[in-house]
Amino acid sequence: MPDEELSASPISALEIFSVGIGPSSSHTVGPMRAARQFMEALPQAPQRVRCELYGSLALTGLGHATDVAVLLGLSGHSPATIDPDAMAGMVADIRQQGRLLSRTFDGTAIPFQERADLVFRLGEFLPAHSNGMRFTAWLEGVAEPVEHYFYSVGGGAIMSGDAVSLTPQVTMAGHNARLPFPFCSGEELLVLGDREGLSIATLMLRNEGVWRTEGETLAGLDRIIDVMDACVQRGLRQEGLLPGGLRVRRRARAIQLRLRQQGANAGPAQVFEWVSLFALAVNEENAAGGRVVTAPTNGAAGVIPATLLYYRKFVPGADREGERTLLLTAAAIGCLYKKRASISAAEMGCQGEVGVACSMAAAGLAAALGGTNQQVENAAEIGMEHNLGLTCDPIGGLVQIPCIERNTMGAVKAINAAYLALQGDGRHIVSLDAVIETMRQTGIDMASKYKETSLGGLAVNVVAC
């Protein structure tokens, strides 16, 4: 895609980081948003509505709660505001009563028989994207049904179009505005920083002014930090088995208790044990359908919070300004991956999720530790270079194995990448732009069975029971 076309599509930090629910941004958050938006676009309450799921959404949708997301989205709920603890009851009511109570149309009851009206097109892929949805509604007095295609393209973002092509989906006001510091490559970020004498975080913050005041942006970042904290804390309190049938037991609470009992006697790896614990807590919450921050996806939601908490708890002098710097810098790097490649595991494999999160976290931590723009870019490059080729092969289609532990590895690797970059002066052989392009090409070459379809890798070599 030409650079001028890329730079014409600005992305906000508060799109890269958004509040949602688990277990998947592309399979849960995106479909819920799409279903709700489809209903909101209808001129009247439909007599019947149907959703057909294609590609990865069909193959692993049940494990990713796509069915639940669609039912709730059609009912008018949003992933940012729905109470995760109330979802099971809502879905049970829909299934028992055979109808949706539409919040969009003032509580109107819409007949819905899940067996006929929610269709998993197993093995069928739409040409436009591997995460495709087709919604159809029948309206009273209208001869032809209303039909619309949506695609969940990663990180909870959705795009519309037809069966063979995509149209960018407007997600916020000012999406066509001209940024004061537009960039679509790592090289451009470095040139802008040198020319303006500004850090990457400051460039990103100035660009956020297209959508809101600086105070509003900082308040939005603080809310993201608070939700990340709350997710970790809830994950550290919970026990028992995760849903889905794999009988994966939550480990975060027990590990936390052991680390506290060990105190300073835990050995030289204690810091990384805590970092792994933070990531584990987040992704156990995500697997349970809890409230998480897409960072930049749900499957990789633990990497950046764990890195953020490492900075807060183990770096002398850490403060809220540094935490904001970490997030703003990470968001700038995330923008590059979204513009130049993809953050969808259905397109890129897990290199596009945990790999991107690792790259973002490494850059953010390097910035919070006082690194130059060149060192930050180097940290981002290191973070991705050693995740290239990472496949997405969840057992049973669940965001549990290997996804939960993979976030712990991503967080530890991000911290290592940041410090490795800070040991140098920013000069290095492989640029961030080169590694992003390599990731994109690798994703294209990767067989579909390794891209969130659960048709290869661990998903078929380990018995799910």
Contact 75, 94 (CB under 8 A): yes
The answer to whether position 28 is within a domain reads yes
Q: CATH no. for residue 268? A: 1.10.4100
For residues 434 and 432, give the distance between their C-alpha atoms in angstroms, rounded to a whole number.
5
The answer to whether position 174 is within a domain reads no
Query: What mean pLDDT is predicted for residues 66-84?
Result: 96
The token pair that represents 462 in the structure block? 């380990």
Domain identity same for 149 and 201: no
Domain identity same for 243 and 331: yes
Domain identity same for 136 and 279: no
- Domain ranges, residue 134: 13-161
Domain identity same for 146 and 224: no
The answer to whether position 1 is within a domain reads no
Domain identity same for 281 and 369: yes
End position of a domain, from candidates 125, 144, 161: 161
Domain identity same for 327 and 364: yes
The answer to whether position 156 is within a domain reads yes
Rounded to the nearest 10 degrees, what angle do helices 320-340 and 214-237 cross at?
Answer: 90
Query: What mean pLDDT is predicted for residues 214-230?
Result: 98
> What is the per-residue burial (b if ≥16 Cβ within 10 Å, else e) of 49-79?
bbbbbbbbbbbbbbbbbbbbbbbbbbbbbbb
Say what the pLDDT of residue 176 is.
62
Q: Give the model's confidence band at 1: pLDDT under 50 very low, under 70 low, under 90 confident, else very high.
A: very low
Q: Report the number of distinct structural domains present in the chain.
A: 2
Query: What mean pLDDT is predicted for residues 236-245?
Result: 96
The answer to whether position 6 is within a domain reads no
Domain identity same for 211 and 277: yes
pLDDT at residue 48 greater than cutoff 50 = yes
Domain identity same for 150 and 193: no
Domain identity same for 277 and 394: yes
The token pair that represents 364 in the structure block? 């953010």
Domain identity same for 157 and 190: no
pLDDT in tens, 314-357: 999 999 999 999 999 999 999 999 999 999 999 999 999 999 99
Give burial (CB, 10 Å; 0-12/13-18/19+) of 465: exposed
> Which residue intervals of 386-431 are DSSP H helices?
403-422
The answer to whether position 127 is within a domain reads yes
Q: Give the model's confidence band at 5: pLDDT under 50 very low, under 70 low, under 90 confident, else very high.
A: very low
Query: What mean pLDDT is predicted for residues 416-421?
Result: 98
The H or E element spanning position 114 is: helix 114-117
Nearest CA to 44 among 110, 94, 93, 113?
Answer: 110
The answer to whether position 178 is within a domain reads no
The answer to whether position 442 is within a domain reads yes
| Residue whose structure tokens are 């850059």 | 363
End position of a domain, from candidates 128, 145, 161: 161
Q: CATH no. for residue 64? A: 3.30.1330.90
Say what the pLDDT of residue 170 is.
47
Cis ω before 23 (30° cut-off from 0): yes
Give the β-pairing of 48-53 and 118-120.
parallel
| pTM for this prediction | 0.93
Q: Give the model's confidence band at 175: pLDDT under 50 very low, under 70 low, under 90 confident, else very high.
A: low
Domain identity same for 252 and 155: no
Residue 449 CB neighbour total at 10 angstroms: 16
Q: Give the model's confidence band at 149: pLDDT under 50 very low, under 70 low, under 90 confident, else very high.
A: very high
Domain identity same for 145 and 236: no
The token pair that represents 150 in the structure block? 């949506």
Q: Which residues pair with 21 in a beta bridge?
A: 291
For residues 222 and 227, give the distance between their C-alpha atoms in angstroms, rounded to a whole number.
9
What DSSP designation does 430 have?
A: S
